[in-house]
């Protein structure tokens, strides 16, 4: 595993070369493995330029999102391909994006659970999904289905207006039999999205997702939930609060989803309120930047050397150099917060906002799994005097998540095509130099 930034002195864990002290210990000659498991609705994002006649022909509403049947989706796709109207085809799904980005950043394997078309033609959308997914993402556990995976069509009219056609295909047909209990219990984290728990009527996805969460909780594996969209939360906010309180360790959201869940429009206050139910919160807030909140033990708190920030919680980043912990692991729990503005002010030109939050979450997961990997292989290290959730401080994780989010915004794909530049491996030294 590649660690999230080079560390010096006591924070440095050698992964590129053999350490003499580690080599002498026979128990550590074979490093243990740490990995993350994610469950997703497998779908492909397809973007195409069309005219109004095309939209009318297929009953699509200009500027709106319409659910289309499998038959209509097939006919739409065939016409788009036959006339070279497709601009891009990207593997999608918030958890799929996160698993891919995690594996690119960590240069380590992750496991994706979901469905995949049993018959795949070269050049088809299912083929594109496989091509756009890192080879480090283990797809061996995908459930084969007779039919298409989900498809999200974005139709761009001549005037620039965007219309959407959504076809679920078989993406909600993952069943409990294809949830590998032992794999989940051996993971360092389980990642799910709110879409799974909602589940379409008559499909087994919700039951499968809940079984995975149950396995994770039985083995004390952190459950990471990304909310996905505020419309899902708006349907029943109290149900989600109860679900998070009972099952979730880490919550990822944007400011709109945070408002739907907590009632607070201010992202700092939304993150603070979410700590009533979760142990760590990641909240992206567009041009405002990124907030993180968590718990640490009073004995483990570390004051920041950065400028203290104003907000509805005065000087809220006072202890952002502390490492996050689960509230139950703290003798005397205290809340800690961090914030960072967009890296370099944000990209000069944002090509695509899709996937920025997924990128931030993948960085957080990288740091969490790196911590588990280090604890597994160097259990007596001073890094593990307490049961921390991350390898780095809250401020450093916030910085890393922000940097990855920038990289996604600066490209046209919601998935990273490469890791961060090597010259930026030491985020401490060069983060703000340019």
Q: Which residues are part of a known binding site?
A: 40-45, 93-97, 198, 284-289, 357, 402
Beta bridge partners of 337: 293
- Characterize the bridge pairing of strands 290-297 and 280-284: antiparallel
Structure tokens at 66: 């319409």
Task: Give Cα 17 to chain centroid, integer Å.
Answer: 30
Taking the C-alpha atoms of residue 328 and residue 342, their distance in angstroms, rounded to an integer, is: 32
Binding site per annotation, positions for GMP: 40-45, 93-97, 198
Taking the C-alpha atoms of residue 198 and residue 29, their distance in angstroms, rounded to an integer, is: 45
- Integer-rounded Cα Rg, in Å, for the chain is 22
Taking the C-alpha atoms of residue 394 and residue 339, their distance in angstroms, rounded to an integer, is: 9
Instruction: Using alpha carbons, select from 272, 279, 284, 217 the residue that is nearest to residue 251.
Output: 279
- Check if the beta carbon of residue 13 is closer than 8 Å to that of residue 3: yes
Instruction: Using alpha carbons, select from 363, 299, 361 the residue that is nearest to residue 333.
Output: 299
Binding site per annotation, positions for ATP: 284-289, 357, 402
What DSSP string describes 122-167? TTSHHHHHHHTS-TTEE-TTPEEESS--EEEEEEE-TTS-EEEEEE
Instruction: Using alpha carbons, select from 291, 286, 287 the residue that is nearest to residue 271.
Output: 291
Residue 49 carries which DSSP code?
E
Taking the C-alpha atoms of residue 44 and residue 97, their distance in angstroms, rounded to an integer, is: 11
Taking the C-alpha atoms of residue 225 and residue 196, their distance in angstroms, rounded to an integer, is: 10
Q: Is the dihedral angle over the CA atoms 83, 87, 93, 98 positive or is it negative?
A: positive
Q: Count CA atoms within 13 Å of residue 208 on its CB side.
A: 29
What DSSP string describes 312-372? SSTTTTTTTTSPPB-GGG-SSEEEEEEEEPPGGGS-SS-S--TTHHHHHHHHHHHHHHHHH
């Amino acid at each position: 595993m590649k660690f999230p930034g080079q560390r010096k002195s006591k924070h440095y864990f050698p992964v590129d070369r053999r350490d003499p002290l580690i080599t002498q210990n026979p128990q550590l000659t074979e490093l243990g493995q740490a990995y993350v498991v994610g469950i997703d609705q497998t779908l492909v994002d397809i973007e195409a330029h069309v005219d109004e006649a095309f939209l009318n022909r297929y009953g699509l509403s200009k500027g709106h999102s319409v659910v289309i049947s499998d038959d209509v989706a097939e006919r739409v796709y065939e016409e788009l391909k036959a006339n070279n109207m497709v601009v891009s085809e990207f593997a999608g799904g918030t958890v799929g994006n996160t698993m891919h980005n995690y594996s690119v950043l960590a240069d380590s394997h992750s496991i994706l659970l979901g469905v995949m078309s049993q018959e795949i033609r070269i050049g088809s959308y299912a083929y594109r999904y496989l091509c756009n997914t890192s080879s480090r993402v283990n797809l061996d556990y995908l459930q084969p289905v007779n039919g298409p995976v989900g498809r999200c069509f974005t139709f761009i009219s001549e005037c620039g207006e965007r219309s959407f056609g959504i076809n679920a295909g078989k993406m909600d047909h993952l069943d409990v039999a294809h949830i590998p209990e032992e794999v989940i219990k051996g993971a360092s984290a389980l990642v799910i999205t709110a879409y799974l728990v909602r589940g379409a009527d008559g499909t087994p996805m919700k039951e499968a997702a809940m079984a995975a969460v149950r396995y994770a909780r039985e083995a004390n594996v952190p459950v990471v939930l990304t909310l996905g969209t505020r419309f899902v939360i708006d349907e029943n906010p109290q149900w989600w609060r109860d679900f998070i309180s009972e099952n979730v360790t880490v919550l990822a959201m944007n400011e709109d989803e945070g408002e739907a869940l907590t009632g607070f429009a201010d992202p700092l206050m939304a993150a603070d309120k979410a700590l009533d139910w979760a142990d760590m919160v990641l909240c992206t807030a567009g041009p405002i930047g990124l907030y993180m909140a968590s718990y640490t033990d009073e004995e483990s708190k570390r004051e920041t050397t950065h400028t203290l920030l104003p907000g509805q919680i005065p000087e809220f980043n006072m202890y952002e150099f502390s490492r996050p912990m689960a509230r139950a692991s703290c003798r005397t729990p205290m809340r800690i917060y961090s914030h960072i503005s967009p890296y370099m002010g944000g990209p000069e030109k944002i090509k695509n906002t899709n996937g920025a939050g997924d990128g931030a979450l993948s960085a957080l997961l990288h740091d969490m799994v790196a911590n588990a990997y280090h604890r597994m292989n160097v259990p007596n290290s001073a890094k593990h005097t307490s049961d921390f959730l991350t390898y780095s401080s809250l401020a450093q994780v916030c910085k890393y998540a922000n940097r990855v989010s920038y990289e996604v915004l600066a490209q046209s794909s919601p998935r990273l095509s490469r890791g961060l530049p090597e010259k930026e491996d030491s985020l401490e030294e060069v983060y703000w130099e340019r």
